[in-house]
Structure 1
Amino acid sequence: MTFSELTDLLATQFGADVLVANTTNPQPYLTIPADRLVEICQFLRDDERVFFDLLACVTAIDNGVDAGTMEVVYNLTSIPYEHNLMLKLLVPRGPGGSRLPAVPSVAHIWRTADWHEREAFDLMGINFTGHPDLRRILLPTDWKGHPLRRDYQEDEQYHGIKTK
């Protein structure tokens, strides 16, 4: 299934106003609202016409303090149909005065999301609501901050060890 056909199918299912297609990228992608992520992902996995049975990657991009946004990127693959789809969410850096942006978890749809979401939480500070075990995966549990954020300030020392 081509990107255009996937876009048309999703627009029919969820409404064209939900999707923003970007075809100028070498890998085209769809931007969707975070509050529709779970239902769109559930459809993409369960619908026999597309059957995205693999969540290959979840990652995050910090657009910076001035932009005030972060992106969460999902790379989906249908192994039997041999097609791929990239989904993006654009989220505020810290909605409602909280420090961490919140995105619904898709770990109940694809088990691989469990570790991918934990990594994005650990390094970028994305809070995946509904995640079954959202805790650090790469850094020590007492680490302060999220080191891949553009506004991250590294401490001079960690447990008496110089870090700079």
Structure 2
Amino acid sequence: MADEPKSPVSPPVAEPTAAAATPPAAAPPAPPKPAVPPKPAGPVPMPWASPLVEKYKGRFGSSLDAFSFVGQNYFTVDRSAIPEILRSLREEEQFDYCVDITAIHYPKREKQFDLLWILYSFSRNERIRVKTQIADGEAIPSVVSIWPTANWLEREVYDMFGIKFDGHPDMKRILMPDDWKGHPLRKDYGIRQQDQEWVQINLGIEKAQ
């Protein structure tokens, strides 16, 4: 049998290759952010001028200065002059209402506390603040004999800050339990530790919420 002619062998067909992915173009750099304008300066204490200021500066000299801050007028007074100035404001200037007594704690300052009396005169329709600085552990004379309502206000300052008022008729806590440790409005007060310790001892609860 004669050999049949063989078909020519087709060359192998190459597989199409995928084109290499083109990396995306890099994003252009972000434009620089505009400079943040400085914050406007806040209000600052300004000198307070009034006939009352002139009278008291003439009387107490360098023991007293006077300022006004956002509409609030106040004296800054040396601690030694506080009793006389407060009594004078009550008896001579008719500041017959002691609105509040409070304090602010600045633990990094040598005299750590600002102590503040807020007074009001009904006849003058005027409010004034008297401020002094005292060191930690220093006491200040009580003004209960000048304004009887100071009784509870001074006890609250003692309770919250530990500042004692000499001559107070009943210098003890008014808000916290008598056996509470520390004074909660001081900035060095360890609130979690103290709260939990008292609750564990007195209420038998392991962890205060």
> When the two structures are superposed, what TM-score results if normalisation uses the length of structure 2?
0.68
Instruction: Specify which structure has the bigger relative contact order, considering alpha-carbon pairs within 8 angstroms and separated by 6 or more residues.
Output: 1
Shift of 1:36: 1.3
* Alignment match, 2:50: 4
Shift of 1:121: 0.3
Give RMSD over aligned pairs: 1.7
**Aligned pair partner of 1:66 in 108, 118, 121:** 108
Structure number with higher strand proportion: 1
- Partners of 1:13 and 1:35 in 2: how far apart? 14
Consecutive unaligned residues in structure 1, runs of 5 or more: 95-99
**Aligned pair partner of 1:76 in 119, 127, 130:** 119
Shift of 1:22: 2.1
Q: How does 1:95-110 map to 2 (within 5 A)?
A: 100-110=137-147
Consecutive unaligned residues in structure 2, runs of 5 or more: 1-47
* Alignment match, 1:34: 79
For structure 1, which segment, 121-130 or 147-156, has the greater mean C-alpha deviation from structure 2 after superposition? 147-156
- Counterpart amino acid of 1:151? D
Q: Indicate conservation of the 8 Å contact 1:3/1:28, yes or no.
A: no
Shift of 1:38: 1.1
- Counterpart amino acid of 1:4? S
The number of aligned residues is 153
For structure 1, which segment, 18-27 or 142-151, has the greater mean C-alpha deviation from structure 2 after superposition? 18-27
Q: How does 1:21-60 map to 2 (within 5 A)?
A: 21-47=66-92, 50-60=93-103
Indicate the structure (1 or 2) with the bigger Cα radius of gyration: 2
Shift of 1:82: 0.8
- Partners of 1:41 and 1:24 in 2: how far apart? 20
**Percent identity of equivalent pairs:** 37
Shift of 1:141: 0.3
Runs in 1 of length 4+ with deviation above 4 angstroms?
Answer: none
Q: Indicate conservation of the 8 Å contact 1:52/1:77, yes or no.
A: yes
